[in-house]
């Protein structure tokens, strides 16, 4: 790979940073990605799952195929970076580095089209709506893997706080699920001066919030990682009125489907039991937004080997700790063998990078080369005769 591909990727990244879209509303981004890949000689298909793009390059005679994925959407945040390439779209910015993820794939597209020899098929998947967790499923439901068969799929996410240019991954669960719950408590409201006439949902809600902490402390295997958080409370009351309704909303993170089911069951049992004890009633809604991202062990081996070739063995951790954030790359990993990895963006703080989802965040262009080198090394290794095991 030459400096030309990194320079191009840097220019593309900054252009993409300036034109963010939200969820599926990424037409400008998708059009730029499609046009760039077409200009590089790739076969491009648009409109998959609404606004997804797939670019395909075939070489040789092998039936082997590999897919690389980048997310396209930004966040509904007003940018405060002050950089020359700041968002031109008010109230929308690339605060999670998806602009960099796309630029790394475009840089890889440039390198593979010009400099890299391989035997097989490469699919570059540019996906909308990662942030709300619905884009991967939309593309899969639009027959992504029927239309673009692939033997394995890989993805990278930049991570502020990890040393710059390091690549970390692990077999098994690497990112958690995200489940959302809502507990709606119905009591009987009344004057704050006469609590004996009411059924106070505030008392019920307070007990539920505290008791839900026992799900992790007393129901989950201590060796499993689970988080249960109550994050919002709403009532229909006033300062001098005990409410009749209370709504608790929250978030749960797990690494296995079994723990997700356990959390849901206990939230329902605890909430309904406490409500009945106070002569109130409650309804629990539990939804699964993201599933756990689970890496295939063989794919981790291939990714780790490519990472060592790309950035050096001293900058690769093939057994990193999982994180409780979520990624809808998980949906692909439930369909085909997959590996998701983290690319270090450097230290957080003055002179370094900002945290993800911050209005001050701008992707660290110095790590674009590491991502491109990783992807090209991976394609070369996986689509070379003798490396197909």
**Total number of domains constituting the chain:** 2
387 in any annotated domain = no
Residue 359 sits in which domain range? 3-176+292-382
Q: Point out the least confidently predicted range of 34-48, 194-208, 274-288, 372-386.
A: 372-386
pLDDT of residue 112: 96
Those residues whose C-beta lies under 8 Å from the C-beta of residue 248, and which sit 6 or more positions away, are: 182, 183, 185, 205, 208, 209, 230, 232, 233
29 is a domain residue: yes
* Angle of helix 368-382 versus helix 98-114 axis, rounded to 10: 50
Q: Which two tokens stand for residue 267?
A: 């939230």
> Once rounded to an integer, what is the mean pLDDT over residues 285-314?
97
Same domain, 7 and 139: yes
Q: State the average pLDDT over residues 270-290.
A: 97
Residue 4: phi and psi, rounded to 5, are -60, -40
Residue 21, domain member (yes or no): yes
- Report d(CA 52, CA 72) in Å as an integer: 9
Q: How confident is the model at residue 385 (pLDDT cuts 50, 70, 90)?
A: low
Q: What is the pTM of this model?
A: 0.93
Domain co-membership, 307 together with 347: yes
Residue 45 forms part of a structural domain:
yes
66, 132: one domain: yes
Confidence of residue 386 (pLDDT cuts 50, 70, 90): low
What is the average pLDDT score of the chain? 96
Q: Does 158 reside within a domain? A: yes
Domain boundary among 238, 265, 290: 290
Q: Is the pLDDT of residue 35 over 70?
A: yes
Residues 199 and 315 in one domain: no
Residues with catalytic function: 73, 130
Please say which residue of 290, 319, 353 terminates a domain: 290
Asked if residue 38 has pLDDT above 60, the reply is yes
């Amino acid at each position: 790979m030459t400096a030309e591909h990194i320079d191009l990727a840097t220019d593309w990244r900054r252009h993409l940073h300036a034109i963010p879209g939200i969820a599926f509303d990424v037409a400008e981004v998708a059009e730029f990605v499609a046009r760039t890949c077409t200009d590089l000689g790739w076969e491009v298909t648009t409109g998959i799952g609404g606004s997804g793009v797939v670019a395909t390059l075939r070489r040789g005679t092998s039936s082997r195929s590999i897919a690389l994925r980048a997310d396209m959407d930004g966040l509904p945040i007003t940018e405060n970076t002050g950089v020359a390439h700041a968002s031109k779209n008010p109230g929308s910015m690339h605060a999670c580095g998806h602009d960099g993820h796309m630029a790394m794939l475009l840089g890889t597209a440039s390198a593979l089209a010009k400099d890299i020899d391989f035997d097989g098929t490469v699919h570059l998947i540019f996906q909308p709506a990662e942030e709300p967790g619905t884009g991967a499923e939309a593309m899969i439901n639009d027959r992504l893997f029927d239309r673009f068969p692939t033997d394995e799929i890989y993805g990278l996410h930049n991570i502020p706080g990890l040393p710059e240019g390091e690549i970390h991954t692990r077999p098994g669960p690497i990112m958690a699920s995200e489940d959302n719950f809502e507990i709606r408590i119905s009591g009987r409201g009344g004057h704050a001066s006469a609590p004996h006439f009411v059924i106070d949902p505030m008392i019920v809600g307070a007990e539920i919030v505290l008791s839900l902490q026992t799900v992790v402390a007393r129901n989950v295997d201590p060796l499993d990682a689970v988080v249960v958080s109550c994050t919002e409370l709403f009532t229909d009351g006033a300062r001098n009125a005990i409410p009749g309704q209370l709504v608790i909303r929250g978030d749960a993170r797990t690494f296995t489907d079994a723990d997700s089911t356990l959390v849901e069951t206990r939230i329902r049992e605890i909430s309904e039991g406490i409500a009945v004890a106070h002569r109130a009633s409650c309804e629990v809604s539990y939804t699964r937004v993201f599933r756990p991202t689970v890496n295939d062990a063989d794919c981790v081996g291939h990714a780790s080997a490519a990472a060592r070739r790309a950035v050096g063995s001293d900058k690769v951790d093939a057994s990193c700790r999982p994180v409780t954030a979520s990624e809808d790359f998980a949906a692909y990993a439930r369909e085909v063998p997959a590996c998701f990895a983290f690319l270090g963006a450097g230290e957080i703080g003055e002179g370094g990078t900002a945290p993800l989802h911050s209005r001050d965040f701008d992707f660290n262009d110095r790590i674009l080369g590491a991502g491109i080198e990783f992807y090209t090394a991976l394609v070369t290794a996986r689509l070379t005769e003798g490396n197909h095991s």
